[in-house]
Amino acid sequence: MAFTTIRFTFHLVAPDLPRILRKRLLPRGYPLPSKFAGGIRLVNTFELCFGKLDGYNEEHTSIKLLALSVCRSIVSLASFKGRIRQFTCTGTIIEHTPPSMRILTSASLIRSSEEDGSKILDKLKIKVRLPSGKLVIGTLWKYDSYYNIAVVNIKASPELREACIHNQVPANVKLSQSKLVAIGRAFESGELMATGGTLLHGTTKFDCQQLMASTCKITKAGIGGLIVGSDGKFMGMSFYYKDGAPFLPFSILQKCLKHFNKFGRVVQLSLGLRIGSLQAEKLHVREQVHDSFPNAHGIYVQMVSDKSPAADSGIKVGDVITKIDKLELFNAQEFHELILDKPKRILRHGEGMPFTLAGTQDKVAMSR
């Protein structure tokens, strides 16, 4: 559950205010103000919609058409502990295996808002609002805290359609300024929402290195929703940030779903590296690399943990990794995708991974 800001902007009769607030706020999981003076206005709530596509213009028409093309795959979810709502978000139907369907959404749905948010709440009841407005009960299947993703099962419904993401050719996420559309659904109203934006090659404010950045301005109701390209291809799953929605690329999501099926969880190989796309690094970093390796491309090593597999293999801060297993790298997402492909081989056979550094022909073997 995310914290909600309360501002005092209108007036109610003072004796009635505490009772009205408790009745309206507590069941929704919102905090009560410390003082009951004047009036209140809730901002940045889970009921706040995004993408006011009023009027007629070419851009808004395209956004609406993209949203309508997947509307029967878009649902909203809310988690409850007793009668108190904990969180609401958007979800996408990703699999239909009778008699059930699976929904991809954010793991914030089941995480505690206290401390670092890593605790998973027990005995939650999950409600899913379908496009028709009907409410059904969902059950948690799998989740991963690092990627902040969860999969919820519901009983199959004829009004829903599976979003065809598994057999789709991965969209090109290398092109900066590519047009994007963020799609979500509000829980209480059931309203379908959409807004436009562009892909950015900057970093995000979140710990997950695999997140990509966009200028799509969504609200918290859009967390867990779809990000699609202007050509209709699925780009990723969105999260909330005030300056624009970061999103986890579908290429990473697909591999996580495969891990759920193969291992029952997402297997994270702890390499002790923090990396970023070289082209997204700050100018002074690019200059340092350019002076030594003018034509270098790949991923830039930002941090190496002591006594980690990366440190033991000789990788240092400032290195540029250009290849893994002879496959050229151009951005950080490609690196993480390849790492997610390795667990089965490494876990079973203990094999290492050969890395090639810029300016050398040498390969650095890294083992788990």
Q: What whole-number distance in Å separates Cα of residue 277 and Cα of residue 259? A: 25
Whether the CB-CB separation of 340 and 252 falls below 8 Å is answered with yes
Model-level pTM?
0.81
Q: Quick one: CA torsion of 266, 267, 268, 270, rounded to 10 degrees? A: 170
Q: What whole-number distance in Å separates Cα of residue 302 and Cα of residue 282? A: 12
Measuring CA to CA, which residue among 163, 144, 159, 158 is closest to residue 102?
Answer: 163
CATH fold of the domain at 273-358: Pdz3 Domain (2.30.42)
Looking at residue 240, what is its pLDDT? 95
Rg of the chain (C-alpha set): 22
Q: Quick one: CA torsion of 22, 42, 152, 159, rounded to 10 degrees? A: 100
- The tokens for 169 are 């050719």
Mean pLDDT in consecutive groups of 10 residues from the start of the chain, 368 residues: 43 54 65 58 78 84 95 97 92 95 97 71 95 97 95 97 69 64 96 95 73 93 95 93 93 93 88 83 87 84 89 88 83 82 56 60 49
Whether the CB-CB separation of 102 and 141 falls below 8 Å is answered with yes
Measuring CA to CA, which residue among 225, 199, 222 is closest to residue 212?
Answer: 199
Whether the CB-CB separation of 214 and 197 falls below 8 Å is answered with yes
Measuring CA to CA, which residue among 325, 329, 326, 327 is closest to residue 301?
Answer: 329
Within a 13 Å sphere around the CA of 314, how many CA atoms are in the beta-carbon half? 8
Within a 13 Å sphere around the CA of 63, how many CA atoms are in the beta-carbon half? 26
Q: Over the range 32-57, which residues count as b (16 or more CB within 10 Å of their CB) and which as e?
A: ebeebeeebebeebbebbbbebeeee
- The tokens for 279 are 């082209």
Taking each continuous run of H as one helix and of E as one strand, the counts in the chain are: 7, 20
Residue 106, C-beta contacts closer than 8 angstroms, at least 6 positions apart = 89, 148, 149, 150, 223, 224, 237, 239
Residue 214's H or E segment, with its range, is strand 213-214
Looking at residue 26, what is its pLDDT? 64
Provide the residue ranges of all domains of the chain, joining segments of one domain with +. 1-8+45-167+176-256, 9-43, 273-358
Whether the CB-CB separation of 220 and 48 falls below 8 Å is answered with yes
Q: What whole-number distance in Å separates Cα of residue 365 and Cα of residue 315? A: 10
Report residue 276: phi and psi, to 5°.
-150, 160
Whether the CB-CB separation of 145 and 266 falls below 8 Å is answered with no
Q: What is the CATH number of domain 1-8+45-167+176-256?
A: 2.40.10.120
